Amino acid sequence: MNRIAVLGSTGSIGTRCLEVIAAHRDRMSLTAITAHRSWQALGEQSRMFEPRWAVLGDGTLRETVPRDAFSPRTELLFGPDAIERVAGSPDVDVVVVAIVGAAGLHGTWAALEAGKRVCIANKETLVVAGPLVIKLAAERGAELLPVDSEHSAVFQAMQAGRRAEVRRVI
């Protein structure tokens, strides 16, 4: 059973990921979901999937978000540190990074440091820190899988041939 954390679960890629998990509950369980500010959508996801954790990245919402909007079985956490905590948790096997912008780097880094399989849909993380991210994945025995259409296409093409045949990707 793959225990999955979806960072950015309320966005388009995140919601698609939850649809896949829902269709394969015999092989996948949702352990953590995160959003920046979309607490209503995150609360609905919490009630539907009952993950162990739901995280709102914007810590200023701590005092205003109604706890009863979430499943009583879900621990509600706040702030960027909480995103890193769930991404690196030993209770998570796979981390899907669908957080928009450079904010996705922190969760990606925490997951890779913990040796996770990381499915990354965040282009900015690779643009900002690609060589460092790839190096960390190799050092920690983590797996980095692109799920964004462009990165996935390049990844699949590279898997089909020999790396020595490719000089550069434009």
75 in Cβ contact with 81 (< 8 Å): no
Task: Measure the CA–CA gap between 90 and 165, rounded to whole angstroms.
Answer: 38
Q: What integer pLDDT is reported at residue 170 of this predicted model?
A: 53
pLDDT tens profile 139-161? 999 999 998 645 444 444 444 55
Is residue 112 one of the residues assigned to a domain? yes
Q: What integer pLDDT is reported at residue 155 of this predicted model?
A: 45
Q: What integer pLDDT is reported at residue 148 of this predicted model?
A: 64
pLDDT tens profile 157-170? 444 556 566 565 55
Which residue range forms the structural domain that includes residue 89? 2-165
Q: Give the CA distances from residue 48 to residues 13, 68, 117, 127, 147, in Å, rounded to whole numbers and listed in that order.
A: 18, 14, 25, 34, 24
Q: Give the CA distances from residue 98 to residues 23, 39, 78, 125, 170, in Å, rounded to whole numbers and listed in that order.
A: 19, 16, 18, 11, 24
Enumerate the β-bridge partners of residue 34: 7, 55
Is residue 30 one of the residues assigned to a domain? yes
| CATH number for 112 | 3.40.50.720
Mean of pLDDT over the chain: 90
Task: Measure the CA–CA gap between 110 and 97, rounded to whole angstroms.
Answer: 11
pTM of the model: 0.88
Length reported for the chain:
170
Q: What integer pLDDT is reported at residue 165 of this predicted model?
A: 60
Low-confidence stretches of the chain (pLDDT < 70) are: 148-170
Is residue 161 one of the residues assigned to a domain? yes
**DSSP code of residue 163:** G
Is residue 170 one of the residues assigned to a domain? no
Q: What integer pLDDT is reported at residue 3 of this predicted model?
A: 99
Q: What integer pLDDT is reported at residue 162 of this predicted model?
A: 61
29 in Cβ contact with 93 (< 8 Å): no
What is the total count of domains within the chain? 1
Non-local CB neighbours of 135 within 8 Å, separated by 6+ positions: none
